[in-house]
């Protein structure tokens, strides 16, 4: 651990300076009028105090790490990404085992579109069985598959995503993770299966995701439109008449700020307009078609 090695380094430095330090300390004691037979005891006391101070500092490093991580999250939420990166890095320097700081740093790098460094941080966070890290890395693999033109690479990333998401979902269920986390797992699993040209297999995962979002409320789950849009795509691939309702929900709940959802919303408009839905009410689930 970094913290332990730092402590050892400090103690070694104290040992290396012992001879010179003792000479200077003896001169100081003599100037203060301390008798020679007390000087050894005084030196022993200062060494003990230094060791105690270093040990106290070492024991307090996890608390410093958690505090730096919290400050990093605040900066991250405020859009101060440079400051957030410094604080997350500082938290990890205080305690390499602060997996939440590694995970948060991964999110930051993902926000900065630095996929390699985000992946590295998520892999570290996964060592502590952090479900969110499995989910985020799985999502990165899905995005990599979508952006690639190489079929073999697409297949590899899809398989990796499904493996990670399946493992992470088990952890999420065991740890009783928040509905938003479980929603994201099921949505991403459905997405990965759809990309494998398995819309029938994708549909049950997406249905569970939708049910979680409905039970939790729209304010409890982010990007709830994604599950509806992916459901619409899956039903469309199966030529199901139920696809129209899912396209409506996709349009209603989709978020244009999300690049994937923006594409799906445009597709939803095309599908709904083709069915003669009023453009002004196209995103209302109960909107009747124009005769």
Q: What is the pLDDT of residues 112-160, one digit of tens each?
A: 999 999 999 999 999 999 999 999 999 999 999 999 999 999 999 999 9
65-128 in CATH: which number?
1.25.40.10
Domains in the chain: boundaries:
65-128
Sign of CA dihedral 25, 26, 27, 30: positive
Phi, psi angles (nearest 5°) of residue 127 = -65, -20
DSSP H helical ranges for 148-289: 151-174, 179-195, 199-216, 224-237, 243-253, 259-274
Residues 242-281: tens digit of each pLDDT: 999 999 999 999 888 888 999 999 999 999 888 887 655 6
Gyration radius from the chain CA atoms:
28
Distance CA 37, CA 21 (A): 18
**224 alpha carbon, distance to own chain's centre:** 18
**Tokens 């297999």 belong to which residue?**
201
Task: Find, among 135, 197, 142, 140, the residue nearest to 167 by Cα.
Answer: 135
Task: Find, among 200, 204, 161, the residue nearest to 186 by Cα.
Answer: 204
Q: 173 pLDDT exceeds 90? A: yes
Residues 220-235: tens digit of each pLDDT: 888 899 999 999 999 9
Q: 221: which DSSP letter?
A: S
Residue 243 bridge partners (DSSP): none
Is this prediction's pTM over 0.85?
A: no
- What pLDDT does residue 222 have? 85
Residues 189-218: tens digit of each pLDDT: 999 999 999 999 999 999 999 999 999 876
């Amino acid at each position: 651990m970094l913290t332990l090695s730092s402590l050892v380094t400090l103690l070694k430095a104290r040992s290396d300076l012992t001879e010179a330090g003792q000479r200077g300390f003896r001169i100081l004691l003599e100037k203060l009028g301390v008798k020679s037979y007390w000087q050894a005891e005084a030196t022993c006391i200062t060494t003990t105090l230094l060791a105690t101070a270093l040990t106290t500092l070492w024991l307090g490093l996890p608390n410093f790490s958690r505090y730096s991580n919290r400050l990093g999250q605040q900066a991250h939420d405020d859009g101060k990404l440079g400051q957030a990166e410094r604080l997350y890095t500082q938290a990890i320097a205080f305690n390499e085992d602060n997996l939440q700081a590694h995970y948060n740093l991964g999110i930051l790098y993902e926000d900065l579109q630095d996929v390699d460094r985000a992946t590295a941080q998520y892999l570290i966070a996964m060592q502590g069985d952090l479900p969110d890290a499995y989910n985020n890395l799985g999502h990165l693999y899905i995005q990599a598959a979508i952006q690639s033109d190489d079929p073999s690479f697409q297949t590899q990333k899809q398989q990796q995503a499904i493996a990670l998401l399946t493992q992470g979902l088990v952890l999420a269920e065991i740890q009783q993770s928040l509905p938003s986390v479980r929603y994201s797992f099921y949505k991403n699993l459905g997405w990965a299966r759809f990309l494998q040209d398995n819309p029938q297999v994708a549909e049950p995962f997406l249905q569970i995701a939708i049910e979680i979002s409905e039970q939790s409320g729209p304010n409890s789950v982010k990007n709830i439109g994604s599950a509806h849009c992916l459901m619409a795509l899956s039903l469309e691939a199966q030529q199901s008449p139920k696809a129209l309702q899912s396209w409506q929900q996709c349009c209603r709940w989709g978020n244009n700020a999300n690049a994937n959802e923006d594409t799906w919303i445009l597709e939803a408009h095309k599908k709904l307009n083709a069915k003669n839905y009023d453009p002004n009410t196209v995103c209302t689930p109960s909107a009747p078609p124009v005769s």
